[in-house]
């Protein structure tokens, strides 16, 4: 069976270029790549269909076909539409009809169309709906994020809608999402909360019924267990030496203490300051364990935090201020970790020290980071708001500790439960990596997709009604 992944806004290449330094290269690219590779390992032929760019500033995307080294069964296919220069994702809407035409030309030339399409983000969704309208190829929709939630976060009102619409093109995005979720054979979501909270937004009313089980499948994204694993690597010793140097630079007597690790974007929503306050407020916790805050691209937070973007800089400034108020530079440490391999090594080191991973976000849509730590055998304390509440307890069994991120005592008590109760810590360490491998690997994600796809291919949905402006590349009428 051949499955096509439609992802017109995401630019894929063999080296995963620009994944951390451009807003158009976010988490959905990791999702699509890892899911495609996992499907291929199960015997599926996969095409990731994206956009060809011939632009000296973006040389990685000029070839029509590409692949991942050492991976069979996955082809990166780049379609020429919207010109040859790089375009931000918000500028692609008018060109999606041409994207679909190029897809048709490719498969007509090759003599075989895909059996099924998985569509990603709203632009991939509307492209899949157009292809379904023209060729009757069934498709699934994975939104990754929905425009209505972005509008809410931006504080959009009737009065300022036009101003924001000029930038984000919600008058295209919302109709694209409506058509995608209505006419797809299935909507894949990562959690039940995503289904019931995001798809129930008033802007989607009449297009999708969140109570309709036939329209939704909860299939969590996966952990790359080739990287995040309890099995030691050669890198462990190097990262351990780096950790030892970080600690002894400020304190020579805290090396053997358990370590609480915070590793997330330096973002106010991640509530790292709430974690720091909880740690510093509890003398028993401070006496028993170190707190390590992972940074990326900044080696000395105390002198260099202002080189980061404004929001991250402000968060770090607040953290440094709190640390200095408590004279705690010998208890709270920062460490620059460059990539996932280093992060996995750090998690294994922390696990051997009886440590904990802490994620105290105010809200976490899914929570892949805690699962990555768990895959390495590091027990987790995580926010109860969002995805972690669905995977840290399963069938009544605890696989970590949930806390209220807005309650300092709840955070501190959750940390102490795992730091002080060494038997419970060891018990979790012994079983959480196997748990992640069974339910939250990318291969498990791929199996979840394929089980649903194989069932849905037996049926056909109604023929999509596509808004005329998507078929002509014309102007979308204002959403309001």
The per-residue pLDDT for range 63-92, each reduced to its tens digit, is 999 999 999 999 999 999 999 999 999 999
In which order are the strands placed within the sheet that holds 290-295? 332-336, 290-295, 259-262, 356-359, 380-383, 401-403
How many angstroms separate the most distant Cα atoms in the chain?
Answer: 70
* CATH code given to domain 2-222+443-472: 3.40.50.2000
Task: Return the exposure string of 388-423: e unless at least 16 CB atoms fall within 10 Å of the residue's CB, then b.
Answer: bbbbbeeeeeebbbbbbbeebebbbbbbbbbbeeee
pLDDT digits (tens, 9 = 90+) for 254-304: 999 999 999 998 889 899 999 999 999 999 999 999 999 999 878 889 887
Q: What is the mean pLDDT of residues 37-50?
A: 98
> Rounded distance, CA 358 to CA 365, Å?
16
pLDDT digits (tens, 9 = 90+) for 314-363: 899 999 999 999 999 999 999 999 889 999 999 999 999 999 999 999 99
> What per-residue confidence (pLDDT) applies to 21?
63
What is the residue extent of each domain of the chain?
Answer: 2-222+443-472, 234-439
> Rounded distance, CA 128 to CA 124, Å?
6
Q: How many other CB atoms are found less than 10 A from the CB of residue 145?
A: 17
> Rounded distance, CA 218 to CA 445, Å?
10
Give the global pTM.
Answer: 0.85
Q: Show the CA angle centred on residue 434, arms to residues 430 and 439, nearest 5°.
A: 140
> What per-residue confidence (pLDDT) applies to 296?
82
> What per-residue confidence (pLDDT) applies to 115?
97
Q: What is the mean pLDDT of residues 204-219?
A: 97
> What per-residue confidence (pLDDT) applies to 312?
82
Of 9-13, 367-371, 417-421, which one has max mean pLDDT? 417-421
pLDDT greater than 80 at residue 102: yes
Q: What is the mean pLDDT of residues 113-142?
A: 97
Bridge partners of 397?
A: 394
Closest by Cα among 360, 400, 404, 406 to 378:
400
pLDDT greater than 80 at residue 20: no
Upper half-sphere CA count for residue 279 (Cβ side, 13 Å)? 32
Task: Return the exposure string of 153-183: e unless at least 16 CB atoms fall within 10 Å of the residue's CB, then b.
Answer: eeebeeeebeebbeebbbbbbbbbbbbbbbb
Q: How confident is the prediction for the chain on average, in pLDDT?
A: 94
294 backbone dihedrals φ, ψ, rounded to 5°: -80, 135
* CATH code given to domain 234-439: 3.40.50.2000
> Rounded distance, CA 119 to CA 131, Å?
11
Q: Is 141:204 a contact under the CB 8 Å cutoff? A: no
Q: Show the CA angle centred on residue 48, arms to residues 42 and 51, nearest 5°.
A: 175
Q: For residue 217, count CB atoms less than 10 angstroms from its CB and return exposed for 0-12, middle for 13-18, buried for 19 or more.
A: buried
Q: Do domains 2-222+443-472 and 234-439 have the same CATH topology?
A: yes
pLDDT digits (tens, 9 = 90+) for 381-404: 999 998 999 999 999 999 999 999
Task: Return the exposure string of 47-72: e unless at least 16 CB atoms fall within 10 Å of the residue's CB, then b.
Answer: bbbbbbbeeeebeebeeeebebeeee
């Amino acid at each position: 069976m051949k499955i096509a992944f439609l992802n017109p806004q995401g630019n894929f290449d063999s080296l995963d270029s620009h994944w951390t330094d451009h807003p158009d290269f976010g988490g959905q690219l990791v999702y699509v790549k890892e899911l495609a590779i996992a499907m291929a390992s199960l015997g599926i032929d996969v095409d990731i269909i994206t956009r060809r760019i011939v632009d000296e500033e973006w040389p990685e995307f000029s070839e029509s076909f590409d692949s991942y080294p050492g991976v069979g069964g996955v082809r990166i296919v780049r379609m020429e539409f919207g010109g040859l220069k790089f375009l931000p994702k918000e500028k692609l809407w008018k060109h999606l009809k041409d994207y679909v035409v190029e897809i048709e030309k490719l498969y007509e030339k090759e003599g075989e169309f895909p059996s099924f399409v998985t569509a990603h983000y709203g632009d991939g969704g509307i492209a899949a709906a157009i292809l379904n309208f023209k060729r009757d190829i069934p498709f699934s929709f994975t939104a990754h994020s929905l425009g209505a939630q972005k509008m809410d976060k931006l504080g959009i009102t009737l009065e300022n809608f036009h101003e924001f619409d000029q930038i984000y093109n919600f008058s295209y995005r919302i109709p694209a999402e409506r058509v995608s979720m209505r006419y797809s054979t299935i909507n894949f979501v990562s959690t039940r909360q995503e289904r019931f909270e995001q798809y129930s937004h008033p802007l989607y009313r009449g297009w999708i019924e969140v109570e309709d089980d036939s329209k939704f499948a909860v299939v969590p994204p996966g952990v790359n267990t080739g990287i995040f694993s309890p099995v030691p690597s050669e890198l462990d010793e190097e990262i351990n030496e780096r950790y030892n140097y970080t600690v002894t630079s400020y304190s020579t007597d805290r090396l053997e203490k358990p370590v609480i690790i915070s590793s997330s974007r330096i973002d106010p929503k991640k509530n790292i300051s709430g974690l720091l306050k909880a740690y510093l407020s509890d003398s028993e916790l401070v006496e028993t364990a170190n707190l390590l805050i992972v940074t990326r691209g900044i080696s000395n937070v105390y002198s260099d935090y202002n080189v980061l973007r404004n929001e991250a800089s402000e968060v770090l400034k607040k953290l440094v201020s709190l640390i200095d108020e408590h004279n705690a530079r010998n208890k709270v440490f920062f460490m620059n970790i460059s990539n996932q391999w280093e992060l996995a090594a750090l998690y294994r080191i922390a696990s051997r020290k009886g440590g904990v991973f802490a994620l105290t976000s105010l809200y976490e849509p899914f929570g892949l980071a805690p699962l990555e730590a768990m895959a390495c055998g590091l027990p987790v304390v995580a926010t109860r708001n969002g995805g972690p509440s669905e995977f840290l307890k399963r069938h009544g069994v605890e696989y970590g500790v949930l806390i209220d991120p807005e309650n300092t005592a709840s955070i501190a008590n959750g940390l102490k439960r795992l730091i002080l109760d060494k038997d419970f810590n060891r018990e979790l360490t012994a079983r959480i990596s196997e748990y992640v491998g069974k339910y939250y690997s990318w291969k498990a994600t791929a199996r979840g997709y394929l089980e649903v796809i194989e069932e849905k291919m037996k049926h056909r949905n109604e023929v999509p009604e596509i808004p005329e402006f998507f078929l002509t590349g014309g102007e979308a009428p204002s959403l309001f």
